[in-house]
Chain A
């Protein structure tokens, strides 16, 4: 059992005088000296801090402090500002930009076809492109750019909705795209859609009903359905309007690969013809990414394997 603290030894400390439960008392120790001096030291420190950094509000303004940051703004002018996190960011961006400038300048100055001939430059573009892609593009086109059947095109194959040349890819990224196919469920008879589905399936070597294929071929090239307007006489698509090639066994909207029977595959195609497509929206990145970033991404996507 502890003793009554007020009676411990010669250096007994004072208590507050309160007593609870007969023997429960409260020490009244002074603050340790080191603590008190540290406290005063922090007050002295704060005075230096006020002088250096933005501190006291005065009316509709505040003391800016003596510390300054100099950065180069977008117009190339040197600007000196009082210390603050926004100026600090500018300085930070300046430093990194100065370091990367020779590379980005070279990217801008080098035609696409020449980039691959300079291994160091190509490494830079592919590495930068990769992080830009993962940040901005991978949410839809997936981390490996493999796309998602039924939603987002695969960028690693050589099948292109809007063209796989550098200029076309650059345009697609800058201005975005909006794929559209009308809903044929309201225009055509179910049997006609079935015929068309069989014909489209046959173009990719899927085993289909020959009679329906023949009827579908006729319908495809007729003004009734008008499929050839967009997909072309040979059903090989048109890049100008993003109409896909139907003969290459690569599927975006119809989830054909998910089905293992010819019947299932044809049904998947039938659904797309019936419902149409109005969700192939690629956002425009021109406002979000700089021209050089878009050039880097264009090269990156082109070089994922399918560039033309």
Chain B
């Protein structure tokens, strides 16, 4: 074909080649991702999803530290088999406060998007310490140190501020706190007030027996289980218009 174009132009000009290569490999990404910031319904308008409490947030960080997402996805796809096993397909709205999201792409273990409330705290403690003591065919490694490692909460405020910078409605000022009260109610707004974060962690851990001990030492186990128990049960499905969810895609 003679179009007056010679690929020697590109091949002999490394700067041009770098630019054109980058364009070529990013075009699909740009075309698919950028419009999502503008299309209505990308994040479904459903009531319920909320930011993590400071204790749950620490649990999420520990979940990432330990690489749980390598084997566990948090994304139920819209297929019948997945719906029957895990429950309603995941909504974008449910991970709107996740930075980064932990959808994952590998399921060596089961999906955890709706694990919250499925098992008791005691089950999670036993299962995390020694998975095969409850699920004999499991190949999951044990994480016994979670139960004995004290929870580091010294940097929780910095962690929340970082998330606030990318749009999670954690509150630093009185106005932001008031806005949270309006949006999430006073109980949760208190949890999202950054200056009280450490106190909130201690109170939530002491009021519940996540690691099997109320008022005991606060461990990483408390945080991880608080996080797991918050996954996937925030949307009130009886108030969701399924037909709208279909239209949104």
Contact surface of A with B, Cβ cutoff 8 Å: 16, 30, 36, 54, 57, 59-62, 73-74, 79, 81, 84-90, 92-93, 96, 135-136, 139-140, 142-143, 148, 151, 278-279, 281-284, 287-288
Contacts and interface: CB of A to CB of B under 8 A. Distances in A.
B87 A74 contact: no
A57 B39 contact: yes
A85 B122 contact: no
A227 B39 CA distance: 64
A104 to B, nearest CB: 14
Given A57-B35, A93-B83, A86 B119 contact: no
Interface stretch (B47-55, B101-109, B241-249): B241-249
Contact of B89 (A54, A61, A89, A151): A89
Q: Which 10 A-B pairs have the closest CB atoms?
A: A57-B35, A281-B120, A279-B122, A89-B78, A84-B249, A92-B80, A86-B246, A85-B78, A87-B246, A86-B249
Given A88-B78, A89-B83, 17 more contacts: A16-B11, A30-B1, A60-B39, A62-B39, A74-B242, A85-B77, A86-B246, A86-B249, A87-B249, A90-B246, A92-B80, A140-B120, A140-B134, A281-B120, A281-B121, A287-B233, A288-B118
Interface residues of B, number: 39
A73 B242 contact: yes
Nearest to B229: A283
Q: Which label, helix, strand, loop or mixed, suits the secondary structure of the A interface?
A: mixed
Interface of B: 1, 8, 11, 35, 38-40, 77-80, 83-85, 87, 89, 117-123, 126-127, 133-136, 209, 212, 233, 242-243, 245-249
B118 A279 contact: no
Contacts of A282: 120
Contact of B8 (A16, A59, A60, A74): A16
Contacts of B209: 278
A288 B87 CA distance: 8
Nearest to A281: B120
A84 B246 contact: yes
Given A79-B246, A86-B245, A279-B212, A57 B38 contact: yes
13 contacts: A60-B40, A61-B40, A84-B246, A85-B78, A85-B249, A86-B246, A93-B80, A96-B80, A140-B120, A140-B123, A278-B209, A288-B117, A288-B118
Nearest to A58: B35
Given A61-B40, A93-B83, A151 B122 contact: yes
A194 B237 CA distance: 51
Nearest to A59: B38
Contacts of A278: 209
A279 to B, nearest CB: 4
Nearest to A31: B1
A174 to B, nearest CB: 14
Nearest to B11: A16
A87 B80 CA distance: 12
A74 B119 CA distance: 28
B38 A60 contact: yes
A73 B40 contact: no
A60 B40 CA distance: 6
A53 B184 CA distance: 38
Contacts of B38: 57, 59-60
A140 B124 CA distance: 10
A154 B136 CA distance: 16
A53 to B, nearest CB: 12
A37 B95 CA distance: 44
Nearest to A16: B8
